[in-house]
Chain A
């Protein structure tokens, strides 16, 4: 083990002295990601809020067919604008988000007691018009309901009769479990960091060493190659873990700055949760280090290795994206899938749920096993004599 520790010590010293790499892996990620997170949440919250509170300005076509409806809208604070010549074109060109059109036969239907048609012209595929469309619908529906009730009362019927069922929501989500919506970002960021935190070292200590031609003299030393390789792998893992810890700390510091009021959610992470999350993600750091080392051993230069690693970075995103778009209920067997299980466990920890111990064990164990298998593959690749010459 002497050789292993020597390699570990040397690679660490060398990496710490590489200011640019240190800045990239240990500072940039942990600062940038939380800031990005805050920025995105802040921006979307603000934008939603602004649209929800702003005055609706709706052009109404055929206002003369339903003067009482138009009056109602104005009473509700809507600024009714004069009708444009071509309402569809106005919406398509994004001049207007919503245009109301009252057809000529509105009065006819109205007087006959039939549902009177009102058209809402909008393009719901434009996300920014969503709030305006919903508000317009709510206003029109409100007016319809009000008139409907009046009609029933005129005929001597209690309007309550039409409300056969009263739905009451009993909301069991706690402030913490609602936080997951906002915190879905964290597992995603941690997964990426587990890979990016060690990427420079994994490539520099293998492909980089080959490129600088220092690998050949190194391998002439009387130390088994697996020890040299493991030393490098451990250094990579340690630095990736450091990046993960820093990211966690910076998230913890940054979360209180979030516009929490908008969500009404509790966004804090306790120290215990942080340690649990670090434990859960640690085998991913080993897996990432081994995978990158295997890849790098095929590359002749640092740059070539870097171009391969671009694809590897996509791997941790897959489960995060699947999980984000298609959430599933965590079950024991899922804990044996690397990357997936970490995503779920981090989610559960943030929600403040109690996670069965065997889930931790299964997730940690299965990921570690695959990481070690990859490490053995990396070691085997290191034992090939060709490893050195593929560079020269």
Chain B
């Protein structure tokens, strides 16, 4: 459960995040939807304690990222926009590295990796070095790496970036399974279909502010539009940076 209240972060004159408020409940998928540069990534970075907010409040299962950074990092699973795998390590070694950093004992880690390999269908490449992996394979390793410590809250920044249709389908399937097992999932995206297909709640962010917030139906109702896409355009007031 994430509660964000009036979050602000300025970089000099640039108001990257300028008063963002939303909630992400357990067992739900919350989508941060917005054009490029709307402040989605900055918001996520403040959630996973990489950036200190200028003002505002964040609470993740009762923890504050600025005060309980180490605790927060143990309860979060994060797949940032930059997947950043180590090409000279195998997929398994990449995952193990993060497991070791979390201090997970080896026997427990190996059984956990076995589970992830099965759910994410990674048998073909788990022992291969990441050099030359496809985007789909990279995302899978990045997700497995982020999930190795069984985090309650999962943050995904543009998870389907660069994925083909099949990989996107597999990814959505996996994200739904996280929801089903009671995780709180937050994903940021600028792709309309993604939120429409996945998210229980949608937070539309534009120019650092929350333009609208609610379920898909609520948003349609509020904007009086026919489709999510039209609702989006009306709610943010422009078509700028929008990907269909």
Contacts and interface: CB of A to CB of B under 8 A. Distances in A.
Which 8 interchain pairs have the tightest Cβ spacing? A213-B82, A214-B84, A222-B73, A221-B101, A6-B100, A17-B88, A213-B84, A220-B78
A17 B80 CA distance: 26
> Interface size bucket, B side?
20 to 34
Contacts of B79: 217
Contact of B101 (A213, A215, A223, A392): A223
Contacts of B86: 10, 14, 214
Nearest to B84: A214
B85 interface: yes
Interface string A380-392: 0000010010001
B76 interface: yes
Contacts of A222: 70-71, 73-74, 101-102
A130 interface: no
Contact of A220 (B73, B85, B88): B73
Contacts of A214: 82, 84-86
B88 A217 contact: no
B84 A3 contact: no
Interface in A1-40: 2-3, 6-7, 9-10, 13-14, 17-18
Contacts of A216: 50, 80, 82, 84
B107 interface: no
Interface in B85-100: 85-86, 88-89, 93, 97-98, 100
A208 to B, nearest CB: 11
B97 A6 contact: yes
Interface residues of A, number: 27
Contacts of A221: 73, 98, 101-102
Contact of A217 (B52, B70, B100, B142): B142
22 contacts: A6-B100, A6-B101, A10-B86, A10-B89, A10-B93, A10-B97, A14-B86, A213-B80, A214-B86, A215-B84, A216-B82, A217-B79, A217-B80, A217-B82, A217-B84, A218-B101, A219-B50, A220-B50, A221-B73, A222-B70, A222-B71, A392-B82
Interface string B99-116: 011110000000000000
A209 to B, nearest CB: 8
Nearest to B77: A220
A220 B97 CA distance: 13
Contacts of A14: 86, 88-89
A212 interface: yes
Contacts, number: 74
B63 interface: no
B232 interface: no
Interface of B: 48, 50-52, 70-71, 73-74, 76, 78-86, 88-89, 93, 97-98, 100-103, 142, 145-146
A385 B52 CA distance: 8
Contacts of B52: 385
Interface string A202-233: 00000001001111111111111000000000
B200 to A, nearest CB: 25
Contacts of B88: 13-14, 17-18
**What's the dominant secondary structure at chain A's contact region?**
helix
Contacts of B97: 6, 10
B84 A385 contact: no
Contacts of B85: 214
A385 B100 contact: no
Nearest to B76: A220
A13 B89 CA distance: 8
Nearest to A224: B70
Given A17-B89, A221-B73, 19 more contacts: A2-B103, A10-B93, A13-B88, A14-B88, A18-B88, A212-B84, A213-B83, A213-B84, A216-B80, A216-B82, A216-B84, A217-B82, A217-B84, A220-B78, A221-B98, A222-B71, A222-B73, A224-B70, A385-B50
Contacts of A6: 97, 100-101
Contacts of B74: 222
A83 B182 CA distance: 105
A215 B82 CA distance: 9
Interface in A94-136: none
Nearest to A228: B101
B82 to A, nearest CB: 3
A28 B52 CA distance: 45
A232 to B, nearest CB: 13
B187 to A, nearest CB: 16
A221 B52 CA distance: 16
A252 B145 CA distance: 47
B100 A220 contact: no
A93 B84 CA distance: 63
A49 B76 CA distance: 74
Contacts of B102: 221-222
Contacts of A13: 88-89, 93
Contacts of A7: 101
Contacts of A392: 82
Contacts of A209: 84
A9 to B, nearest CB: 8
Nearest to A227: B101
A227 to B, nearest CB: 9
A13 B93 CA distance: 10
A220 B93 contact: no
Nearest to B146: A217
Contacts of A9: 100
B178 to A, nearest CB: 18
